[in-house]
Structure 1
Amino acid sequence: MNRSNQPQSGQSKAGADFLQLDTADAPAGGLSDWLTERLRAAISDGRLPIGSRLPATRVLAAELQISRGVVTEAYQRLTEDGQVAGRGRAGTVVVAVPPLATGRRPTSPSPAPVMSEPGLDIFDTLRAAPARIDLTPGVPDLAAFPRAAWLRAERAVLNDLESSEFGYGDPAGTPRLRRAVATWLARNRGVSAHPDELIIVAGVSQAIGLVAQMLQTHGITEMAIEDPGSLGTRQHLQNWGLSTPPIPVDGSGLRVDVLRSTGARVVMATPAHHFPTGVVLEGERRRELIQWAAEGGLIVEDDYDAEHRYDRPPVPALRAMLADQVIYSGSVSKLLAPSLRIGWMLPPPQYKDELIGMKRLADLGNAALPQLTLAQLMESGDLERQLRFLRRRHRVRRDAMVDAIGNYLPTATIHGAAAGLHLTITFADDTVKDAELAAAALQKGVKTHPLSWHCQLPHAPGLVLGYAARTPTELTEAIATIAAVM
């Protein structure tokens, strides 16, 4: 029976937000046919991908002001064709694409990323590239995210949250999280700060962008950076119009003598755990850098991976020693998950209001509910328990990767094993093309970074290998694969 009844006399035709359906487009007497074809076309062209749920028949019928039987019949036809299926309480779900969908573009394998010339989209491209074993550096063990503790914290927050707190808040961040972060920094990083001095940001990347904008308002157009140093940081700074003169890093850390020779007024550094080599800025260099800042320089300190240490004592943050010349930044991206987009910056007093103003114009402040949940996690001690758990887990994985490198790549030199979430290996043979090696490894299902991505100056070829998110067995297999394609 074709339930193609038109709207009742005197009732106007109507449309739905869903797929912008408009019954005015339907031919007279053909509502079921029209609706079926519209739904089939949306499945074909990807507007309704596999796994998406169709509206309830009663809801869609009410929005279109048609008989529910028309919608039911259309859904039934698609069910008989095998394109949708009823899932009980989950509703009607798309399960297949029509085999000969009109206008459907043929799919083709994604091209391999161009590893030798990384563009601005290289990290997105690499992230989308399929791989059996992903050794991307800077990625924590996302499977270890403390879901139960996070849910407990969020429930506790929601139970006590005033209705007014769902409105717009302080662009510098919720007072509760700033208090919790101030306590965390004092306990774990030796940094003494009043909560009002802190600014909550969407990760260290936003902190870098805000600082870059602020520097330009003061006539500063360059920020010296470590070399090797993060390609992402360099791209971010250059995107905001700053040049990035490279300062070499050796076994003792940043070469302050070279920094002085450049005449740069601002430098960005990762003194507690340099990316990507893992070097710690040693005592004499630290004193030299502090003296350089005391003479009028400004340090932007990225406290990268500072919490993840295994075989060495903690290293205090530079901010703890020279508050007036250091813009300190950190986040929970490597401790919990990058998707939270929660970090903090601690600027000298003379820059605080200006940076808060820029944060206000950027996004009116981070979302409050995740901030309050993180504050609860910090206050309850759950975050410190998570850190202790991760250190034990990461140590096992770090050891597995070190052993595998020793077995399969015995001539490679390992850097940065004492802390962090990744290792860097370099090869004495300078004829090795690390970008080609990384591309070949990716073709075999192992994803990593060539060291050359993170260098502006000449440097030994190498690879940057993340280990935190992979099991010991996977790490061994990955290193064996890299060795096989060398």
Structure 2
Amino acid sequence: MSRNRTSSGAAELLVELRRDGGVPLHQQLEKAIRDRIRQGLMRADTVMPSTRALAQDLALSRGVVVEAYQQLVAEGYLVSRAGGYTQVADIAVVEASTVASPVIGPPRIDFKYSKPDVSEFPRAAWLRSLKKVLNETPHRSFAYLDGRGALELRHALADYLNRVRGTAARPENMLICNGFAQGSRLLLQVLAKQGYRRLAVEDPSDNELREVATTAGLEVVGVPVLETGIDVDVLEQSGADVVLVTAAHQFPTGAVTSAETRAALVAWAVRRDALIIEDDYDAEYRYDREPIGAVQGLAPDRVAYAGTASKTLAPGLRLGWLILPGWLVEEMSEAKLTDDRGSPVLEQLAFADFVARGEFDRHLRRMRPKYRLLRDTLVERLGERLPELVPVGVSAGLHVMTWLPAGMSESAVSAAALERELGVYGLAPYWMAGHGPAGLVFGYGGLTVKAVAEGIDVLADAVSTLSE
């Protein structure tokens, strides 16, 4: 995009002048501009206001501004261009309050989890939805919403989730939020206010939510994860009145909650008069198994279901949703309004059209084989180069976990890999006590097939140095 090169006075400059300070006004103006340039607050090529416009804005004579500009041009801070406009010169910043530390760039190949392939974002289809919304949406839809979000999106998502995830969603019981981060934070705050006291989480599990729960005033207890999902017998003895589960694809182990465990979980909630929070974060990506329905469909009054577009479309959209029991809707709606007055309506309406027209389904069908190829490449390469790292939880999602052999340290592996510009990450942050069996979590969604293969080769080289 071309920069506006005129000196018509469209640009403005905030400068504070002391007219009773004893320092000539042109020198004050010079110093103010010079200091900003030296501190890096006015970048090279920034177009300055015209001398006439700046003089008018600051109630100065034009001669004062001309004198200041001429001095700064002479010092090399400004440069006059053909056509009568003045710009900040391309000079190095010579002052800083502190010496900046060297910036270490990200690993060349990074297996960090939570990185879907945003390069595949369906721009053309999304643009069609945006254009349709802008052309056809009534003006009233751009006014303030109620706390639940745009009705159009709640209808579209209810239809989609009931069809694809087996939920029992109704638009009036849904709430649109800025991703799972906001939705879970508001939900835990509301639950604590309503008298809930103890949250049970899968162990291992996402550590960030545990911190959010503690901040909300809830006690957090860990419950082991079995191959069939959360250990309901231990949950029964935990004294918890709310539990968070990732039933479709446990994070990070990848365990799938069995039908028996789901039934036992719902029975526990009924007996205990408790609430289940179901984080359905990446259930749309399955490769080697039949689809597993959401627990919410079994007990809508006992489950708060959370979903997000972060793994399926792009995390930058900040689009998430909750399906709530009826008794939570009003208070959650009020909490959402208090928090931010509602999520951006334009994105909600565009996503509603995107889902209703079947573009969301098409995007997921297009992405599944791409992610499956990445998963297959990762698993096969591990088998060839690092057979001692046996993958688990590979049937779905955007990550694979491996246990480490006895005596192999997560931190040592990660450090050796990082020396080779490779990012690999251990399980330690996900354990309630901060430690447990050692393992690695490989996120592959944002990588290429070539990067996955090369990354495992580099890891094999790193691991080999640890055993020497």
Bucket of the pairwise TM-score, normalised by the shorter protein = 0.7 to 0.9
Q: What secondary structure is seen at the aligned counterpart in 2 of 1:463?
A: strand
Do the aligned partners of 1:60 and 1:71 also contact (CA within 8 Å) in 2? no
Contact 2:34 2:77 in 1 (8 A): no
* From 293, 306, 327, the counterpart of 2:304: 327
Match of 1:451 in 2: 427
1:426 alignment partner in structure 2: 403
Report deviation, 1:130. Answer: 2.2
Question: Superposed, which structure 2 residues align to 1:63-462 within 5 Å?
Answer: 63-64=57-58, 67=62, 70=65, 74=69, 81=76, 96-98=90-92, 101-103=94-96, 105-110=98-103, 130-295=106-271, 296-429=273-406, 431-456=407-432, 459-462=436-439
Question: 15, 21, 46: which is aligned to 1:21?
Answer: 15
Cα RMSD (Å) of the superposition? 3.2
What is the deviation of 1:316? 0.1
Gap change, CA 1:367 and 1:477, over 3 Å in 2: same
Aligned to 1:45: 39
Distance 1:400 1:42, change over 3 A: farther
How far residue 235 of structure 1 moved from its aligned partner, in angstroms, is 2.0
How far apart, CA to CA, are the structure 2 residues paired with 1:465 and 1:85? 54
Residue type of the alignment partner of 1:108: S
Structure 2 stretches of 5 or more lacking a match?
1-10, 464-468
Percent of pairs with identical residues: 35
- Tell me the TM-score normalized by structure 1: 0.83
Range with greater deviation from structure 2 (360-369 or 457-466): 457-466
Aligned mates of 2:117, 2:216 — CA distance in 1: 31
CA deviations on 1:235-287 (whole Å, 9 max, x unpaired) are 22122222221110121111111111112121100001110111110122122
Instruction: Give the structure-2-normalised TM-score.
Output: 0.86
Gaps of 5+ in 1: 1-15, 112-128
Aligned-pair CA distance for 1:161: 3.1
Question: 1:188-227 deviations in whole A, cap 9, x for unaligned?
Answer: 1111322111011111122211221122223222200001
| In 1, Cα distance between equivalents of 2:360 and 2:53 | 44
After superposition, the Cα gap between the structure-2 partners of 1:86 and 1:473, relative to the gap in structure 1 and judged at 3 Å, is farther
Answer yes or no: is the 8 Å Cα contact 1:201–1:366 preserved in 2: yes
Distance 2:442 2:212 in 1: 22
Distance 1:345 1:87 in 2: 58
Give the Cα–Cα distance (whole angstroms) in 2 for the partners of residues 470 and 87 of structure 1.
48
Shift of 1:470: 0.8
Q: Deviations over 1:134-185 (max 9, x none)?
A: 2221221121222222222112111123333333211110111111111111
Q: What letter is aligned with 2:290? A: P
CA deviation profile, 1:415-462 (whole Å, cap 9, x unmatched): 221111111111122x22213432443343222431111012553211
**8 Å Cα contact 2:54-2:65 kept in structure 1:** no
Q: d(CA) in 1 for partners of 2:396 and 2:277?
A: 21
**How far 1:79 sits from its partner (Å)?**
11
Paired with 2:372 and 2:74, the residues of 1 have a C-alpha distance of 51
Within 1, Cα distance between the matches of 2:333 and 2:155? 17
1:41 is paired with a residue whose SS is helix
SS in structure 2 of the partner of residue 246 of structure 1:
strand
* Residues 369, 59 of structure 1: alpha-carbon distance in 2 compared, 3 angstrom cutoff: farther
Three-state SS of the structure 2 residue aligned to 1:312 is coil
Q: 1:467 aligns with which of 436, 439, 444?
A: 444
Q: Is the CA contact (8 Å cut-off) linking 2:29 and 2:68 kept in structure 1?
A: no
Bigger mean CA offset, 403-412 vs 296-305: 403-412
How far is 1:23 from its partner? Answer: 5.0
Whether contact under 8 Å (1:36, 1:78) holds in the other structure is no
Q: Is this contact kept in 2: 1:205–1:236, CA < 8 A? A: no
Q: Distance in 1 between matches of 2:79 and 2:157?
A: 49
Matched residues in 2 for 1:262 and 1:289: separation? 13
SS at match of 2:202: strand
Contact 1:319 1:326 in 2 (8 A): yes
Question: Given that residues 69 and 78 in structure 2 are in contact (C-alpha distance below 8 angstroms), is that contact kept between their aligned partners in structure 1?
Answer: no
3-state SS of paired residue (1:324):
coil
Q: Give the Cα–Cα distance (whole angstroms) in 2 for the partners of residues 289 and 92 of structure 1.
A: 70
Partner of 1:7: none
Question: Alpha carbons of 1:166 and 1:420: their partners in 2 closer, same or farther (altered >3 Å)?
Answer: same
Cα distance in 1 between the residues matched to 2:166 and 2:136: 31
1:449–1:464 CA contact under 8 A, matched in 2: yes
Q: For this pair of structures, how many residues does the alignment match? A: 448
